Structure formats: C-alpha cells, structure tokens
Copies of this chain bind each other. A is one copy, B any other.
Amino acid sequence: MVAQRPTIRPGDPLSAVDSPALLVDLAAFDRNIATMAAFARDRGIRLRAHGKSHKCGAIARLQQAAGAIGLCCQKVSEAEAFIAAGVTDVLVSNEVIDNAKLRRLAHLAGQARIGICVDSLLGLERLAEAAQEAEAPIDVYVEIDVGATRCGVQSDAEALILIERIAAHSRLRYAGIQAYQGQAQHLRQPAQRQAAIDVAIRRVTALRDALSRQQTAIGIVTGAGTGTFYLEAASGVYDEIQPGSYIFMDRDYRDNHWAAEAPRFEHSLTLLTTVISARREYVVVDAGHKAHAIDSGMPAVFGRPDLTYGNPSDEHGVIHCADGGALPELGDRLQLIPGHCDPTVNLHDWLIAHRDGAVVDVWAVEARGALS
C-alpha cells in the first residue's frame, strides 16, 4: 500500500534527519553483531538470529554474513520478506494454523530451507497437506512449553505423538524441538533467569530421554533470547540460540542485571525526537505511541540520565528534568532509548544507520507490518 519515503540520503549529516526517526549507531551495532557471532563460534553453538526484532533484510544479511546459520521469525509474511532479501534458511518459530498461510509457507520451501513449529495435530495435518501440494520439504520443530505458559505442548506424551505423526508425511522432516522461555528474558536478577532456564533444561532433558528410550534422536534443540542465551548455550542441551534484541538493546534489557559470564551489548537503536513546546517545568517532544512502543515501560533519554520521558500520548511525550539539571530548549533534539525495540521498529519504514555524525545507509524495514 502507501508508505512513507525517506528524504535522507547516505552522506547527509545526522542533523538533517527529520524527527521522529529511528537511528542505528553503526559503531555499537557492529560490535553487538560481532560479540554475538564470536560467542556462538566460541561455544560451538548455532546462532539463528531472530528477525522479529528488526524485520530488515539488510540486517538479516549482515547477521548471516557474520556466521548466523539463518534467521527465525514469527510470521509467514516475515519469512517471505527475509527470503526475498537473500536469507537462505528461515525458521518460523511460531504456530501457523491457517491453510492459506501454510500454502504460502510451503511455496517458500522451493527458495530456501524452511522450518516451522507445531504444537497440535490439526496444525501438523494442515502443514502436511500444504507441503504435499507444493511438493516442498519442510523442517518441523515440535514446540514444547518450557515454562512460558503460552504456546507449546505440555507433556512428553503429546510431543511424542506429534513426532511420530511427522514421520508419516514424506514431505515433512522432523528437525527438533522449539524450547523458548520468553518469560525468563526480563526477569531482572541473573539467578531468577538461571532458575527459569534450569526448568526449561530439565523439561528438554526429560523429553530427550523419553525419545532416546524409543531409539529416536531429539534433533536440534532451539530457543533462547537476549536475556538468557548464555545459559542455554552452557546447558549442553541446546544446539541453537535465537536471540534478536542483542543488535539494538532496549531500555527493558538494560534494566536486567547481568551475570559476570554474560556477554555485554550496547544501545545502538535510538529514536530521534524534537522539542516542539516548552515551559518552565517541562518540555514536550514529538514522539508518542505512534513512534515507539511503551508495552515494556517508558524510554530512557540517551546520554541524559537526568531527563525522564513520561505522560505519552499518540504524538507527544513530556520530558521532565531532575532537580538542578537544565531542560532542553525549543527545537532541541534528543535521542530516546526505546522501552521495547521489537514493536518500536515495527512502527517505522526505515532505519537510519549512522557513524561519526553522518548518515551511512537507510535500511528498509521490509517486514514492517508483516502480520500474517
């Protein structure tokens, strides 16, 4: 449909960028990409970077070039966008139940390695039908609930039934287990996250043992986000990690406390905003709900810990200053560290990559709005 177009070009000064706009600090971003790639390489674990965080073909290609085995994403339409952008291995780390969507997924299997999760017989049978029709090979991961109480089967028995059923369909290949503990990612204390992942590990181990008694290999165990990936990687049970937010680091991840062994990532994503109204007690900036997501709390102000953003409305936010500090002035620009990067990026058509005060690239967010 209609979409906004960037007026900014590589080589322009950062000061020429119109606000609100999402900026990516390439120095920090490149270090984040390299840190995670080195971690996976050193641990001998597969990195399947989560594309739901960025929805951007250029970033997916950078992750693949740095050694990621492929991408994962949550929607068939995201997989379509990533494959169009040149990604060669995509796992839809989510359930799909709609026949039309499953046909689109099967169609993709002619262009790239495709995987998907199942947690129901209905979903599995519909997937098999679509794969048969398209004569397309699809990797199937059985999702198990490892404590997040969202998707995934609850018992080993249910998982075993699904795994057995997969074998009955010639176009489907049982690939392994999706064991992602989303609720653990933002538990603030390292020990809390460790306890949650310990539960996940016990759950996977029990299933592995049950499968082993049937002379069946569990295959690839995949899961883990930016808050816990170093725990899954150390478990000896997971083969693949799925972090996404590490490339950007949002305020919610910043608020986690980190264990000594956890690799550190830097804020690279900020929302540029301008002061459009000012009075003695506060100033008003031009970024509200339509420019950033507050489901995980308010953004922080980059480089200005004395400023707080609050009272957000659709197109405005209000900035207060701690006692003694100076408020920004009318026309001044600030950078906000989004509360939650994934749904914030989904509000923008492009990301402005910058270095040393200049625009280096304008990356399309090809899968923005890819909901289906």
Task: List residues of chain A with CB under 8 Å of any chain B CB.
Answer: 1-6, 18-21, 52, 74-75, 77, 81, 94-98, 100-101, 119-120, 122-123, 149-152, 154, 182, 274-279, 284, 289-291, 293-295, 311-316, 318, 330-331, 340, 342-343, 346-350, 364-366, 368-372
Contact B372 A18 (CB under 8 A): yes
Contact A1 B122 (CB under 8 A): no
Contact B316 A371 (CB under 8 A): no
Contact B1 A364 (CB under 8 A): yes
In the complex, the 4 A-B pairs of residues with the closest C-beta atoms, listed nearest first: A1-B349, A3-B3, A151-B277, A289-B343
Contact A1 B1 (CB under 8 A): no
A to B CB contacts below 8 Å, 20 in the list: A1-B3, A1-B349, A1-B364, A1-B365, A2-B365, A2-B368, A3-B368, A18-B98, A74-B314, A74-B315, A97-B274, A97-B331, A98-B274, A123-B276, A149-B318, A150-B277, A150-B284, A150-B311, A151-B277, A348-B371
Contact A95 B2 (CB under 8 A): no
Q: Which residues of B contact A75 (CB under 8 A)?
A: 315
Q: Which residues of B contact A284 (CB under 8 A)?
A: 95, 150-151
> A311-B150, A315-B74, A315-B94 are contacts. A347–B349 as well, Cβ < 8 Å?
no
Shortest Cβ distance from A296 into chain B, in angstroms? 9
Given the complex of chains A and B, what is the CA–CA distance between A312 and B294 in angstroms? 13
Q: Which of A20, A81, A289, A311 has the most CB of B within 10 A?
A: A289
**Which residue of B277, B291, B365 contacts A119 across the interface (Cβ within 8 Å)?**
B277
Given the complex of chains A and B, what is the CA–CA distance between A277 and B122 in angstroms? 10
**Which residue of B95, B311, B343 contacts A314 across the interface (Cβ within 8 Å)?**
B343
Given the complex of chains A and B, what is the CA–CA distance between A359 and B295 in angstroms? 32
Given the complex of chains A and B, what is the CA–CA distance between A97 and B331 in angstroms? 6
Contact B369 A276 (CB under 8 A): no
> A98-B18, A284-B151, A330-B122 are contacts. A4–B370 as well, Cβ < 8 Å?
yes
Shortest Cβ distance from A142 into chain B, in angstroms? 12
Q: Which residues of B contact A279 (CB under 8 A)?
A: 154
Determine chain A's interface SS by DSSP, over half rule: loop
Q: Which residues of B contact A120 (CB under 8 A)?
A: 277-278, 330
Closest to A118 in B: B277
Shortest Cβ distance from A110 into chain B, in angstroms? 19
Q: Which residues of B contact A331 (CB under 8 A)?
A: 97-98, 122
**Which residue of B95, B150, B318 contacts A150 across the interface (Cβ within 8 Å)?**
B318
> A95-B277, A331-B122 are contacts. A100–B18 as well, Cβ < 8 Å?
yes
Q: Which residues of B contact A295 (CB under 8 A)?
A: 289, 294-295, 312
Given the complex of chains A and B, what is the CA–CA distance between A101 and B19 in angstroms? 10
Contact A371 B313 (CB under 8 A): no
Shortest Cβ distance from A108 into chain B, in angstroms? 16
**Which residue of B5, B278, B293 contacts A1 across the interface (Cβ within 8 Å)?**
B5
Closest to A294 in B: B295
Q: Which residues of B contact A343 (CB under 8 A)?
A: 289-290, 314
Contact A371 B291 (CB under 8 A): yes
Q: Which of A96, A290, A294 has the most CB of B within 10 A?
A: A290
Contact B154 A313 (CB under 8 A): no
Q: Which residues of B contact A368 (CB under 8 A)?
A: 1-3, 369
Given the complex of chains A and B, what is the CA–CA distance between A302 and B279 in angstroms? 43
Q: Which residues of B contact A96 (CB under 8 A)?
A: 276
Given the complex of chains A and B, what is the CA–CA distance between A315 and B94 in angstroms? 9
**Which residue of B18, B52, B94, B371 contacts A276 across the interface (Cβ within 8 Å)?**
B94
